[in-house]
């Protein structure tokens, strides 16, 4: 089932996003062209039922990078970092091809409490270690004004890994 996610919207996932599942976002646009002033961002965030940000993918318009992080709803221990982050440089990847044909962004919830595998098209961009319990129950798409990195409406699908087409499943499994 396809669900549509517009800019600024929150969405309850049709089922909890847990181990062995793949969350897929489809966009006909992928625009990192610089703007005249400032840097523009788009965020896609996944939350558990406690309100922790399990995974947030941030696209920086002028940076040709993505930023992946998480955040506790509130720190559990005084002085404990409430954030874990990773920066991925997209320069060595054919971003221009995505600009022409659009992009599929997939998040595979790998085994157990472990990690997320993030793919653009069929290319694994990075792995991100999961720190908070529970599956994702909802997601949120946020953008700074004028970002226009992804199209206005994203197509969102949730799959069991076993339900993917063989070539898509191979792209995920060959990198794990």
Residue 127 pLDDT? 92
Query: For the domain that residue 52 is a member of, what is the CATH number?
Result: 2.60.120.200
Residues in the chain where the model's pLDDT stays below 70: 1, 33-39, 61-63, 75-83, 94-101, 112-113, 146, 175-176
Cβ(14)–Cβ(159) below 8 Å: no
Structural domain count, the chain:
1
Give the model confidence (pLDDT) of 63-99 as tens digits.
678 899 998 877 665 555 556 788 888 877 766 666 6
Which residue(s) pair with 139 in the sheet? 11, 46
Residue (of 163, 71, 62, 65) closest to 120 by Cα position:
65
Q: Which helix (H) or strand (E) holds 96?
A: helix 95-101
Q: How much is the pTM?
A: 0.86
- Per the structure, the complete domain to which residue 157 belongs is given by 3-173
């Amino acid at each position: 089932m396809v669900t549509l996610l517009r800019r600024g919207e929150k969405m309850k996932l049709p089922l909890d996003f847990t181990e062995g599942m793949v969350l897929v976002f489809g966009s006909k646009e992928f625009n990192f062209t610089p703007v005249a002033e400032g840097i523009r961002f788009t965020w896609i965030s996944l939350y558990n039922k406690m309100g922790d940000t399990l995974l947030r993918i941030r696209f920086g318009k002028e940076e040709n990078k993505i930023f992946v992080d998480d955040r506790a709803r509130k720190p559990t221990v005084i002085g404990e970092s409430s954030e874990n982050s990773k920066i991925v440089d997209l320069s060595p990847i054919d971003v221009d091809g995505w600009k022409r044909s659009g992009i599929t962004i997939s998040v595979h919830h790998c085994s157990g409490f472990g990690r997320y595998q993030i793919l653009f098209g069929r290319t694994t961009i990075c792995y991100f270690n999961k720190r908070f319990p529970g599956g994702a129950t909802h997601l949120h798409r946020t953008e700074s004004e004028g970002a226009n990195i992804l199209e206005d409406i994203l197509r969102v699908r949730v799959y069991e890994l076993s339900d993917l087409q063989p070539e898509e499943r191979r792209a995920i499994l060959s990198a794990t």
